[in-house]
Structure 1
Amino acid sequence: MTFDFLSLVKKQYRTVPLEGDFIQPSKIEGKEQILWVGCSDSSVEETDVLDVPREEIFVHRNLGNIISNGDLSSESAIEWCLDLLKVKHIIVCGHYDCALIDKGDGSALGGWHKLHELNESHLSKSDSSLNYECRHRKLEEVYVLAEVDWLKRQPSVRRAMEEEGLKLHAFVYDKERNVGYRLVEEQ
């Protein structure tokens, strides 16, 4: 399965401030209902973003919240949460000021350096006035949307979406402002 990196970079979306009650707590106490995919170096606590009890969130952290790299740990977490826990939501949450984007030379990202290059090229053509911080933030958002796009194409995820009503969400957290944002794709 290959990515159309250019369409990911050009994807239209908006950032919407995330309300803590975006996902309601489960009616079954202690039942995990969310798979949270976050960044290994992030200091973002899932319960800082959502008003959901900690025991309702299964957390999987990976370098740069990248799950589409063929990593057995990521694949296992996804299958466990879908097949055994029957989660209702998968959240991919990136964070602004991610060191992977600043310092990643492409080797740790696998093919993701292509996405980085295309994003820079696209931003240069579409809006060359964007400063470094805006470009960095945009790239983090594109990475998160790319991971959600990859998830949507996985057979087990598609099946859970169709048969069990699984919902996928793209979030980005701004540690400086202590605010989470939903990335909402335009139709």
Structure 2
Amino acid sequence: MSEALLADNLAWAAGRHGDRDFFTRQAAPRQAEHLWIGCACSRLSGQDLTGLPPGAIFALANLGNLALSQDIGFLSGLQYALEVLKVRHVVVCGHYGCGAMGAALSDPAPGLVDHWLAPVRALAWRHAQDLETILDPAARANRLCELNVAAQLAQLAANPLVHETWRRGQPLSLHGWIHSAADGLLRDLETSVSSPRQAMALVGGPMDQVGRRRGKRKAS
């Protein structure tokens, strides 16, 4: 398998030689304006979904697109994006059909995955009354996906690194989106914040209505 991947890379590189400046452009410095916090099990990246060129998005991915304040790997990536790249937008992007959401709704199984998803499982417990009204398991997991994106956005909105960025006067907006593999569209959950005041309102506000206006896709 590893040899096949290396062969695929050779074919990919050879296919780019028709564009003489392709690799020169990729090697040139590029300032990403977007930090994309996605799910590791999503089949499409932020670059795939938006059509932006390589380097326009700085991406972080983990199981369930979590923005945990105790995860040093996530925090170091966030700090780099805010302080070095000076991104102007942070997107938390979940995806319908997420295996992590399904796992969080299933019986706990010993192991690191269950430990990692403990915040999502706790979120599901807090919204059990809402989720239990959804009889279809896939639809229930999709609803949890929406709630999880809102919860991770609230985590970001309370993060000291984000507030320090605003204190410096650096423009920064936080967005919560959902990707659907069924149609390839991004849906805006309408939870964006771009100031400490809006962040306080998001952190302190109810999440029960998040995503209820489902279907509004991100304008191109």
TM-score per shorter chain, which class?
Answer: 0.7 to 0.9
- Contact 2:89–2:174 under 8 Å retained in 1: yes
CA distance in 2, matches of 1:81, 1:167: 13
* Partner SS, residue 185 of structure 1: coil
Cα shift readout 1:10-67 (whole Å, capped 9, x = no counterpart): xxxxxxxxxxxxxxxxxxx821111111111111221232242221111111111112
Cα shift readout 1:107-144 (whole Å, capped 9, x = no counterpart): 331333111122232344xxx36533332211101101
- Contact 2:98–2:142 under 8 Å retained in 1: no
The higher-RCO structure (CA 8 Å, 6+ apart) is 1
Q: Which amino acid aligns with 1:144?
A: V
Match of residue 181, structure 1, among 187, 190, 193:
187
The residue correspondences of 1:64-103 to structure 2 (distance < 5 A) are 64-68=64-68, 70-103=70-103
Match of residue 130, structure 2, among 101, 122, 125:
122
Q: Which amino acid aligns with 1:133?
A: A
Equivalenced residue count is: 156
- Contact 2:101–2:120 under 8 Å retained in 1: no
* Structure 1 gap ranges (5+): 1-28
Superposition CA RMSD, Å:
2.1
CA distance in 2, matches of 1:55, 1:172: 22
Aligned partner of 1:50 in structure 2 is 50
Aligned partner of 2:144 in structure 1 is 139
Query: Does residue 112 of structure 1 match 2:112?
Result: no
- Contact 2:176–2:191 under 8 Å retained in 1: no
Larger-gyration structure (1/2) = 2
Cα shift readout 1:61-104 (whole Å, capped 9, x = no counterpart): 11111121511110000000111111101111111111111123
CA distance in 2, matches of 1:39, 1:160: 24
- Contact 2:91–2:176 under 8 Å retained in 1: yes
* Structure 2 gap ranges (5+): 1-28, 109-113, 193-200, 202-220
CA distance in 2, matches of 1:161, 1:72: 21
